[in-house]
Amino acid sequence: MRIGVLTGGGDAPGLNAAIRAVVRRALSLDFDVLGVRNGWAGLLGGGNFQRLDWRSVSGILHQGGTILGTSRTNPVKRQEDMEQVLANLKAFGIDGLVVIGGRDSLWVGAELQDRWGRVVGVPKTLDNTLVGTDYCIGHSSAVALVAEALDRLHTTASAHHRVMVVEVMGGDAGWVAIDGGLAGGADLIVVPEVPTDLESICNHVLARRAQGREFSIIVVAESARIADLSDEGIDMGKPDPFGRYKLDRRNIGERLAAEIEKRTGLETRFIVLGYLQRGGSPTAEDRLLATRLGVAAVDYLAEGRFGFVPCLNCGSVVPVPIREVVSHTRPADMALYELAKLFF
């Protein structure tokens, strides 16, 4: 059996660990493995593949990024592109494809599954918004980075009695903000799941000051909506092939910090963690998760269990239909948000 593996969408710590697991498990079953270069782009044109063996994945468990490269290519937009994908799968003799990606990449995988029938997925997104799994590859590492940043910011915020606004990733939901904020001791967390306004935020900061707590650290998700902080007039640029805009153009952290200082008179600074959340070595949790899910994905192919995604559910890896995984965005856990509020 010959299988292919690709990584699509935004990079995240743990992708190489997943590739390693796929290759190691496949070779143990005497499968051939072809890596698809640069996400779905590698299945267009004449195809862009590399053979993967034991040496290819040696020493990559702890490395960030992806040895295969990635892209936000969407072959579903044009019928001729999907025909190229199918032609390349046939030409290179691929009997099954492992798609490691987030909602967009796995949605393309679901479309290919409908046409070809030999796809399995692996859930990756630091946003943690995929349905059917407790955690996605990359989320733990992003949260660890946010928590470490807050640890460091506490000292400077305390020394200067400042308000610090920390903008974190979270294109559709507030998972990173809530988990990272709770772990790092944030004094307020602003996420799209919880409506708020500038007055409420400023009153919270002033109330803390009145209680003798002379600094505040506010974590805000890049997708957060603050009622009286309008996006009107902001140039969001062009959407990517999946219709998504770069939310860092909203400058939500910078604009929120400016309004807090203007309305409260308190010195306020902001920091955007940005792509730091995507970089660096994966945490032990992400390495373990990626290894478990990568091995399970190959087992699904070997068993002929196509159209499924191995997902972590209460500690166990279970198969979830790929269509279900990409059916909608999974909002952040509000029980965790309520827990965090105890410490605001």
247-282 pLDDT, tens digit per residue, is: 888 899 999 999 999 999 999 999 999 999 999 999
pLDDT of residue 119: 98
Which residues, including other chains, have CB under 8 Å from residue 273's CB and lie 6 or more apart?
145, 146, 149, 166, 167, 168, 169
pLDDT of residue 323: 97
DSSP state at residue 243: S
pLDDT of residue 192: 96
The Cα–Cα gap between 167 and 274 comes to: 8
What number is the average pLDDT over the span 21-35? 98
The Cα–Cα gap between 185 and 84 comes to: 50
Average pLDDT, the chain: 96
What number is the average pLDDT over the span 119-129? 97
The residue ranking higher by pLDDT, 247 or 330, is: 330
What number is the average pLDDT over the span 303-311? 97
Catalytic residues: 127
- DSSP calls for 37-62: TTGGGGGSTT--EEE--TGGGTT-TT
235 falls in which pLDDT band (50, 70, 90)? confident
pLDDT greater than 90 at residue 244: no
pLDDT greater than 80 at residue 242: yes
pLDDT of residue 272: 96
28 falls in which pLDDT band (50, 70, 90)? very high
* Token pair of 12 as six digits: 């995240």
Counting residues of the chain whose pLDDT is more than 70, the rounded percentage is 100
Q: Is 21:293 a contact under the CB 8 Å cutoff?
A: yes
Question: Measuring CA to CA, how many Å separate 51 from each of 54, 120, 224, 258, 301?
Answer: 10, 19, 43, 52, 18
pLDDT greater than 90 at residue 50: yes
The Cα–Cα gap between 114 and 116 comes to: 6
The Cα–Cα gap between 113 and 151 comes to: 44
What number is the average pLDDT over the span 318-328? 97
Q: Is 177:189 a contact under the CB 8 Å cutoff?
A: yes
What number is the average pLDDT over the span 64-93? 96
118 falls in which pLDDT band (50, 70, 90)? very high
The Cα–Cα gap between 98 and 238 comes to: 30
What number is the average pLDDT over the span 17-39? 98
pLDDT greater than 90 at residue 240: no
The hierarchical CATH code for the domain 140-279 is 3.40.50.460
* 3-state secondary structure (DSSP) of residue 226: strand
pLDDT of residue 233: 77
Q: Do domains 2-137+282-325 and 140-279 have the same CATH topology?
A: yes
pLDDT of residue 238: 86
pLDDT of residue 171: 86
- DSSP calls for 268-307: EEEEE-GGGGT-SPPPHHHHHHHHHHHHHHHHHHHHT--S
What number is the average pLDDT over the span 307-321? 97
Cα Rg, the chain, nearest whole Å:
21
C-alpha closest to that of 240 among 105, 332, 66: 105
pLDDT of residue 13: 97
Q: Is 24:35 a contact under the CB 8 Å cutoff?
A: no
293 falls in which pLDDT band (50, 70, 90)? very high
Per-domain residue ranges for the chain? Answer: 2-137+282-325, 140-279
* 3-state secondary structure (DSSP) of residue 153: helix
Per residue in 221-232, pLDDT tens? 999 999 998 888
Per residue in 142-186, pLDDT tens? 999 999 999 999 999 999 999 999 999 998 899 999 999 999 999
Q: Which fold has domain 2-137+282-325?
A: Rossmann fold (3.40.50)
C-alpha closest to that of 99 among 110, 115, 83: 110
